[in-house]
Amino acid sequence: MVKICCIGAGYVGGPTMAVIALKCPSIEVVVVDISATRIAAWNSDQLPIYEPGLEDVVKQCRGRNLFFSTDVEKHICDADIIFVSVNTPTKTRGLGAGKAADLTYWESAARMIADVSKSDKIVVEKSTVPVKTAEAIEKILTHNSKGINYQILSNPEFLAEGTAIQDLFNPDRVLIGGRETQEGRKAVQALKEVYANWVPEDRIITTNLWSAELSKLAANAFLAQRISSVNAISALCEATGANVSEVAYAVGKDSRIGPKFLNASVGFGGSCFQKDILNLVYICECNGLPEVANYWKQVIKINDYQKSRFVNRVVSSMFNTVSGKKIAVLGFAFKKDTGDTRETPAIDVCKGLLGDKAKISIYDPQVSEDQIQRDLAMNKFDWDHPIHLQPMSPTAVKEVTMTWDAYEAAKGAHGVCILTEWDEFKKLDYAKIFQNMQKPAFIFDGRNVVDPEKLREIGFIVYSIGKPLDPWLKDMPAVV
């Protein structure tokens, strides 16, 4: 029986291993993590992450050929294939601070593998890592090898949160990079055989190690670039009276461009886009390619610009101050169908409004109050470290309250900001919301989920990203 061990029970490790266990009943899969609370959650009825379909998969396999454990050393020792999906945060200090990936957790995982292994292992990079990480890991393992052979493979994940289980069941492609040696090819084949249990042969791509590592960074950079492209156009639409939805639809009809990832919004979020682009920028700089680095930097600059532009719209339309005013924030997750708040644009928007002394009331169907308070109190890259290394119970932000209902959040508010495109926000009774708000009542739609004309008929002053401006906003500067 092939034994697989995955180090790291997070957004990547948990779902990926659950699906492998489901699709390969003859393989024993153990997910290990040093966090006892996280492992306890995976073994409970309340899983630590929300992902549609994940619970069903885990319940079918858990205890049969899928296990979650804190006994890291035992399961590393027993495994034939070890997946490493630990955090690779952006460094906050030292060489490459603010750009380079921090490989501390990766290195300690590699050292532990070297310490406890008694038989040959295939070690698979699952985390998003900078190009050439495999080389560093290989050096650590071979210098501590005690006669054991290690093969390093790169098998980046291409999951989108909210559809991760579907993405795993039916992937566009599975990418496996390995050394171009006989042993390397054998290791690639072994991993290929695992995926071949349910993925068609023509969708399993094999490359060299560096191509696999770089493909992941490049794919995320291309996706983020599309969002920044349409967001840049949205600013021009507002200035000229064009409608960004119509422009994006017309552009997306070109089969070479296609319609995906062309929704203008308050900005992209999630744990990967910004981190991977910063990483790409750093690698370009280290390899003497400043022009390439500057090109990719612009994708993040436009994203930051879009968030600050949104905050400026809110403040300038409310007589240039939100001090002491209640603002309802609908949605805090970085996109619908996930409880993930990592790098969500809502953090920067809320901080911007708090900077002008607003009182904020937040409703999100999947995000806890504790998580929101933590996000608003943390420094930029702190979220990407394991929870026990994050600042302990940060001081709560007094001006922020949480409600479990959109109507409650908007009661008595001067303005409503829609920051996540949850389906339920399309179906709210906005006439009821309008009655219970201060007048003039504003709606700032950061995700283009509502129909501005219908809301104007109710009496709202509406700002929708990239849509023709409300007469109220016409004379206000877009950027203060």
Residues with catalytic roles: 272
Quote the tokens at residue 234.
């949205």
What distances in angstroms separate CA 9 from CA 17, 23, 129, 196, one per listed residue? 9, 19, 17, 24
Compute the distance between CA of residue 211 and CA of residue 199 in angstroms, rounded to an integer: 21
What percent helix, strand, coil does the chain show, rounded to 5? 45, 15, 40
**Cβ pair 427, 450 in contact under 8 A:** no
Q: What is the DSSP letter of 89?
A: P
Report the 10 Å Cβ neighbour count for 262: 19
**Cβ pair 389, 417 in contact under 8 A:** no
DSSP assignment of 370-434 equals HHHHHHHHS-TTGGGS-GGGSPSSPPP-TTEEE-SSHHHHHTT-SEEEE-S--GGGGSS-HHHHH
15 closest CA partner among 234, 218, 169: 169
Compute the distance between CA of residue 346 and CA of residue 464 in angstroms, rounded to an integer: 16
**Cβ pair 252, 259 in contact under 8 A:** yes
250 closest CA partner among 260, 259, 263, 240: 259
**Cβ pair 132, 101 in contact under 8 A:** no
In 280-358, DSSP assigns E strands to 326-330
Instruction: Report the helix count and the strand count for the chain, using DSSP H and E.
Output: 17, 14
**Cβ pair 47, 13 in contact under 8 A:** no
